[in-house]
Amino acid sequence: MSLLQVDDLTVHFRIRRGLGKKSIDTVHAVDDVSFAITEGETLALVGESGCGKSTAARAVLQLVKPTAGTIRFLGTDLTDLSSRQRRKVMRDAQVVFQDPYSSLNPRMTVHDLVAEPLRAQAHMSGRELEARVLSMLEMVGLGTQHLWRRSHEFSGGQCQRIAIARALALDPRLVVLDEPTSALDVSVQARILVLLDDLQRRLGLTYLFIAHDLAVVESMAHSLAVMYLGRIVEQGPAREIFGAPRHPYTVALLRSSPSPDPEERGTMKVLEGDVPSAVKPPEGCRFNPRCPFRMDVCTTECPQPHAVGGHLVSCHLPDDFDTRATGSVVLV
C-alpha cells in the first residue's frame, strides 16, 4: 500500500481583482492531480513556476485546503478529519522549505528550533528533550557547539541541516522537501543531497521532493511527475522518463536544462513562448499554445493519462510519435 495516495486533487484560489467585489477570478493552481508514493521511495514533482507543484505539496501538508479530491496518508483520508485528528495524523509528515533562513525563526536558538516539534507534539522537556535534540543534530552532522546559536550565525547549508534535523525530530514517515537545495551553492547542495539520501536509507524515509532542477531530480528520485499549469503531464519511474520521455513538455524541459557535460554541448533545445496565466488556462490541453505538435483536438479536449511504456502520459499524440524532435537547436 502506498504511504501517500493523492487522487484528483484540485486546488483553486479565488482572488479579488480591482476595487469592490465585482470581479472574482479563480486561480486554477492544481487540477485533477493524482499520484502515489511507495514507502521508502522518493517521488519528485517537477515543473516550472506556476505549475502547481508547491501548492500540491502544501495541500498534502494540510497548509492549504483542497477544493476537491482525496489525500490518503497512511491509509487515512485526510479530507474528512477534524482538525485535532488531522494534527495527530500529520505528525508523521514534516517539511523542509527552500530558503534555509526564512524557514527558521531568526530569534530562536538552534536548540529551540529543533525542540519545537517535540514540545508541541511529544511533550518532552528538560534532559530528555535536550538529549533528543542533540541526537537529531548529530544525525545531520552538527554538534553541541551549535546548540545555542541563532540561524543568522550559520551558513545556508548548515541552516538547511537544522531544518532537516527539525523535520526528523518527531520520527516522521514522510518528509516533504520543497526545493531544499535550490538556494544553495553547488558544493553545499551535494552535501545536502548526500545527507538526504543517507537518511532515507538509514531511517526508511519517504520523500515528496519538489524541484525545478532536473539534474537534482535525476540523482534523487525513484519516480517522477512532471507538472504543467496545474496538471500532471507525465509520470512514472524516473529512469524511464529520463530515458524515454514522451510528452512534448517533458522533452522540452529535459532539453532546456543546460548540461555541464562538455560532450553534450550543442544539445540544448529551446521551447518558445511564455507560461500562460493560471487564471485563464488554455482550453483543452493546457500546453497546446506552446506545443510544436499541436493538433486540433488539443485545443478542445483535455487529454487523459494513459499508459505508454512503463509510465503515464497525458497527450493526444499517438504512442509511436517521436517527440524528441521538439524545439530548435541552440547555436554553438
Partner 1 sequence: MQSAQTIRLADWRVRHQSTFDEARYNVRVFFKDKLAVLGLAIIIFTMVVAVIGPWIAPYPEQGRGESNLTERLQAPSAKHLMGTDNYGRDVLSRVIYGARIPLVISFVVTFAIVIIGVPIGGIAGYFGGKFDEVVMRICDVFLAFPSLILAIVFVAFLGPSLRNAMIAIILSWWPWYTRLVRGMAVSLRERPYVEAAKTMGVGDFTIIARHILPNSLGPVIVQMTLDIGTVILAAAGLSFIGLGAQPPVAEWGLMISEGRDYILDQWWIGAFAGLAIFILVLAFNLVGDGLRDVLDPRSKR
Partner 2 sequence: MDELLRVRGLKLQFRSMRGVVKALDGVDICVHDREILGLVGESGCGKTITGLAILGLLQKPQAEITGGEISYRGQDLLAKSDREMQDLRGREISMVFQDPLASLNPVFQVGHQIEDVVRIHKGVSRRESRETARRAFAEVGLPATDEMLKRYPHQFSGGMRQRVCMAMALACGSPLLIADEPTTALDVTIQAQILNLLLRLREELGVAQVIITHNVGVAAQTCDRIAVMYAGSVVEEGPVVEVLSRPRHPYTIALYECLPHGHTASELKTIPGTVPDLITPPTGCRFHPRCKHVLEVCPTAKPQPVQVGDRHWVSCFWATGQTDGADSEAAS
> Looking at 118, 175, 271, 312, which residue binds partner 2 (CB under 8 A)?
271
Three cell numbers, residue 252:
522540452
Shortest distance, position 218 Cβ to partner 2, whole Å: 7
HSE, side-chain direction, 13 A CA sphere, residue 97: 10
Q: Is 265 in the site for partner 2 (CB under 8 A)?
A: yes
Minimum CB separation of residue 154 from partner 2 in Å reads 10
Query: How far is residue 57's CA from residue 78's CA, in Å, rounded to a whole number?
Result: 14
Sites of contact with partner 1 (CB under 8 A):
58, 61-63, 87, 90-91, 93-95, 97-99, 102-109, 111, 116-117, 120-121, 126-128, 130-131, 134-135, 138, 147-150, 153, 163, 166, 170
Can you tell me which residue has the cell 532542477?
213
Torsion angle, alpha carbons of 190, 196, 197, 198, to 10: 110
Q: Which is nearer to partner 1, 104 or 278 (CB)?
A: 104
Work out how close the CB of 67 gets to partner 2 at its nearest, in angstroms, rounded to a whole number: 25
- Is 176 exposed, middle or buried, given 0-12, 13-18 or 19+ CB atoms closer than 10 A? buried
Can you tell me which of 54, 55, 98, 189 binds partner 2, judged by CB under 8 A? 189
Nearer to partner 2, 170 or 315 (CB): 315
| DSSP annotation string for 78-126 | GGGS-HHHHHHHGGGEEEE-S-TTTTS-TTSBHHHHHHHHIIIII---H
* The one segment of 27-35, 105-113, 127-135, 217-225 that binds partner 2 by CB under 8 A: 217-225
Contacts of 84 (CB under 8 A, 6+ apart): none
Beta bridge partners of 33: 9
Q: Which does 318 bind (CB under 5 to 8 A by kind): partner 1, partner 2, none?
A: none
Residue 200: CB minimum distance to partner 2, A: 9
Length of the chain (residues):
332
List of residues 6+ apart from 220 with CB closer than 8 A:
42, 44, 193, 196, 197, 207, 209
Among 270, 279, 297, 325, binds partner 2 (CB under 8 A): 270
Nearer to partner 2, 135 or 219 (CB): 219
Determine if 18 is a binding residue for partner 2 (CB under 8 A): no
- Specify whether the CB–CB gap between 218 and 238 falls below 8 A: yes
How many residues at the interface with partner 2, by CB under 8 A?
Answer: 49
Q: Which residues contact 270 (CB under 8 A, 6 or more apart)?
A: 256, 327, 328, 330
> Residue 23 CB, nearest distance to partner 1 (Å)?
21
* Residues 6 or more apart whose Cβ sits within 8 Å of residue 196: 164, 177, 180, 207, 220
Backbone angles phi and psi of 18, in degrees to 5:
70, -175
Q: Which residues pair with 65 in a beta bridge?
A: none
Residue closer to partner 2 by CB (options 73, 249) is 249
Binding site partner of 130, from partner 2, partner 1, none, Cβ cut-off 5-8 A by kind: partner 1
**Binding flags for partner 2, 109-148, as an x/- string (CB under 8 A):** ----------------------------------------
Q: Which is nearer to partner 1, 26 or 121 (CB)?
A: 121
**Among residues 203, 244, 268, 302, the one that binds partner 2 under rule CB under 8 A:** 268
Given a contact cutoff of 8 angstroms between Cβ atoms, the answer to whether 101 and 156 are in contact is yes
* Interacting residue with partner 2 among 24, 63, 120, 194 (CB under 8 A): 194
Residue 296 beta carbon to partner 1: minimum distance, rounded to whole angstroms = 43
CB of 157 to partner 2, least distance (A): 8
- Picked from partner 2, partner 1, none, the partner binding residue 279 (CB below 5 to 8 A depending on kind) is none
